[in-house]
Copies of this chain bind each other. A is one copy, B any other.
Amino acid sequence: MTTIKNKEQLISNGETRSDRKARALALESLEVALKAADPIQIIKSKLSLKNSTLRVNSYSFNLVKFKNIYVVGGGKATGAMAYALEQVVGKRITKGLVNVPHGTKSKTATIELHEASHPVPDESGVEGTRRMLEIAEQAEKDDLVICLISGGGSSLMPLPRNGISINDKKEITNALLKCGATINEFNTVRKHTSDFKGGWLAKKAYPATILNLILSDVVGDPVDSIASGPTVPDSTTFGDAVKVLEKYKLWDKTPASIQKVLCDGEKGLIPETPKAGDEAFKKVYNVIVGNNRLASLASCKHGKVKGLNTLLLTATLEGEARHVGTVLATIAREIVTSGNPVRKPACIVAGGEMTVTVTGKGKGGRNQEMALAAAMKIGGTDGVVIASLSTDGVDGPTDAAGAVMDGKTLAKASQLRLAPQRFLADNDSYNFFSKLGDLVLTGPTGTNVNDVSVIIVL
């Protein structure tokens, strides 16, 4: 289980007993969030097998009725998910293959862990995905296909359509990444240039039953977005995909093989992605087993157990990190001043995915920048802490997961002759917190449900 490696150090950095207590509570809350986002923990706690009945959320499957159980999937956490699934379903699994990033350490018995490249797809990814499709096509009416999906699934499960090469796919991927297209626009193109995404996996596995277990890394858990929805009806068309490329003036630069597929699609020469109402989706169960909300709620619950008045502010937080920091700081100040939105001792949790618009040359991440901006608005208070981390353990291009600040951070920075506004202007939050010894360090966690921020006011 991932822990905050320098937790004791971070706690002892608190100047007063109250600051240390608030730091301890904030960091413990974040550790609880990490635990709730742990793939093994999630699969083991969400899935249960009793008397041959597999239960997950409100669904139950009588495994006796299934002849074979196949496992497919892909994502950064699917190695661990596959390991845990074997712990639950055990020997009932007939056969399985999931694509995992190079260097995945999980050990499995039946399910093959096929290593592939992330975030830029490779031939090995294509090979693994092709074999998954073979497994899906092999599945019959009385078989169950369990699909494991987590963040990174889109890159780890590439299967370019009709003669598109992996290099062409890489080219358009890079162009779309740079042009400022939204994730939905990106996925519209992805789905129409893939034999796996946009519902095709479900179509190919039909008439088998599909149980899709999703560890969501997309704010709001849109199932058609996560890994580009291989088991979810697609609401977009070939025409939409062409429009996206035209909108960003990419059509002329689009590889000919991709232009051909999209034009053939528009002309009806090749089939559209499966749509809502397609009988292929009648026996598909898409289940979110882990997401930011579950992690954030676990943080809240820990606060409550510790006797704090808790609130989950949001689990779909978005916004520029520094302004989110300002807003969270004003909420912390309000608790101090007026006992709103909750009375002290308080614990407020906000989860989601912040953004940073980089204009400086410094080093930092979303969570560190949020904490820096918050620190600039909370000076001189006692027992007020804001701590924030990226649940994958890697906040921006740094070796820190996030940072922690309290009401003394400004004064300490001043003693060290550090000007917070300069670090913020240069997007240099890492070096600011590094000098204060207030970076939160976890190492890569093997999961991702985005960011969790905790406010503690004692």
Contact = CB atoms under 8 A, between A and B. Distances in A.
14 contacts: A293-B338, A311-B311, A311-B340, A313-B334, A313-B340, A314-B327, A314-B330, A314-B331, A315-B334, A315-B340, A318-B327, A320-B323, A323-B323, A341-B341
A312 interface: yes
Contacts of A333: 220, 314, 316
Interface string A208-225: 000000000000100000
A21 to B, nearest CB: 24
Contacts of A297: 338, 340
B330 A327 contact: no
A337 interface: yes
A319 interface: yes
A262 B377 CA distance: 30
Interface of A: 220, 293, 297, 311-320, 323-324, 326-327, 329-331, 333-334, 337-338, 340-341, 352, 377
Contacts of A320: 320, 323
A453 to B, nearest CB: 11
Given A293-B338, A323-B324, A324-B323, A330 B312 contact: no
A358 to B, nearest CB: 16
A283 B331 CA distance: 34
B334 A318 contact: no
A312 B338 contact: yes
A238 B76 CA distance: 60
A318 B377 contact: yes
Contact of A315 (B312, B313, B338, B377): B338
A316 B324 CA distance: 14
A319 B333 CA distance: 14
Contacts of A293: 337-338
B341 A316 contact: no
Given A324-B327, A327-B324, A327-B327, A334 B319 contact: no
Nearest to A323: B323
Contacts of A324: 319, 323, 327
A28 B157 CA distance: 52
Contact of A327 (B311, B315, B319, B338): B319
B327 A312 contact: no
Contacts of A316: 330, 333-334, 337
Contacts of A330: 314, 316-319, 352
A377 B319 CA distance: 10
A235 to B, nearest CB: 13
A347 to B, nearest CB: 12
A337 B292 CA distance: 13
Contacts of A315: 334, 337-338, 340
The 8 closest A-B pairs by CB, nearest first: A323-B323, A312-B340, A319-B326, A314-B334, A311-B341, A314-B330, A319-B323, A316-B330
Contacts of A334: 312-316
Contact of A318 (B311, B326, B340): B326
Contact of A312 (B313, B314, B329, B341): B341
